[in-house]
Amino acid sequence: MPAILEVRDLRKSYKNVEAVKGISFTIEQGTCFGLLGPNGAGKTTTIEMIEGITPPTSGEIRYRGVANNPEFKTQSGIQFQATALMDFLTVREVIALFSGFYQETLSLEKLTQLCALSEFLERPAAKLSGGQRQRVLLALALLNDPQIVFLDEPTTGLDPQSRRNFWQLIESIKAQGKTIVLTTHYMDEAEYLCDQLLIVDSGKIITQGTPKGLLREHFGFTYIDLPEGAMAADLLANFEHSVTATGVEIISHNVDQTLQTLIELQVDLTSLQIRNPTLDDLFLKITGQNLRD
């Protein structure tokens, strides 16, 4: 796929602090690109430079192969983490108000279908639930029928069902060939939605690739979890392991062999759990901290 966006040696300095330290990457058209990092890692500054909100200290941003491409402003949409809505207006009136900012917009019918707004079009913005409010904000980001959409932690604070519903909306938008740039604090969200991931920390790229590719690259084992008290302490020496808050986590390079050894040692396997490494495990391994820290 062709690159819709190229970032080359992007840097941002504030007095004596270099927040972004020479980041370079490309985003392919029609993909969902995830930008991840702990608080203070530089991801928000990077996104704001791309969006044109914050000027870079140095570096280049190319949209469709052109630096400072004027088409970017008319072909991009942004859902900010927090956007004020006029509480005394209905959803229909809010969309009509924001539509006045553009020369050409998607029809209300199309936006209603895309973002599932029909049930609350006539409801005042002040009476929307968290999930409904995020769907309205997504509709506003799609008003100008953008080619590339920036979503800044769009499901933060939503309940699990609302998050899943929002994921389906994002997938339907991507299915139309639009490019999505997503920042999120939820690793399951990134693993489910993103085709490519870029993980940054301290203003630098620490790894990038597909979710599955990164997990294959950094992990060649499976976790076997046992609850506290299921295994005598003197038996742990037989395994590569770590002690967790709830029990013991055994690192297994051959699950069948490990299970056979546990059976031979007469370990209680009643509450045993087997799981593959996740993006949470990856992030903890390569940064030494949890994404939510």
Confidence label for 149 from pLDDT (cuts 50, 70 and 90): very high
Residue 51: what pLDDT?
94
pLDDT of residue 91: 95
pLDDT digits (tens, 9 = 90+) for 255-277: 999 999 999 999 989 899 999 99
1 pLDDT band, cuts 50/70/90, is: low
> Which uninterrupted H or E stretch holds 181?
strand 179-183
pLDDT at residue number 261: 93
Q: What is the reported pLDDT for 23? A: 95
φ, ψ for residue 54 (rounded to 5)? Answer: -120, 130
Q: Considering the domain delimited by 3-83+145-216, tell me its CATH architecture.
A: 3-Layer(aba) Sandwich (3.40)
Question: Quick check: helix, strand or coil at residue 81?
Answer: coil
Please, what is the average pLDDT of the chain? 91
> What pTM does this model have?
0.87
CA dist 197 and 36 (Å) reads 7
Q: Given pLDDT bands bounded at 50, 70 and 90, which one contains residue 290?
A: low
Q: Which residue has the higher pLDDT, 87 or 108?
A: 108
pLDDT for res 54: 93
d(CA 187, CA 160): 13
Domain with CATH 3.40.50.300 in the chain: 3-83+145-216
Exposed / middle / buried, residue 114 (Cβ in 10 Å: 0-12, 13-18, 19+): middle
pLDDT in tens, 234-262: 888 889 888 888 889 999 999 999 999 99
pLDDT higher than 50, residue 61? yes
Q: Is the pLDDT of residue 293 over 60?
A: no
pLDDT band at 289 (very low <50, low <70, confident <90, very high): low
What is the percent of the chain with per-residue pLDDT over 90, rounded to a whole number? 68
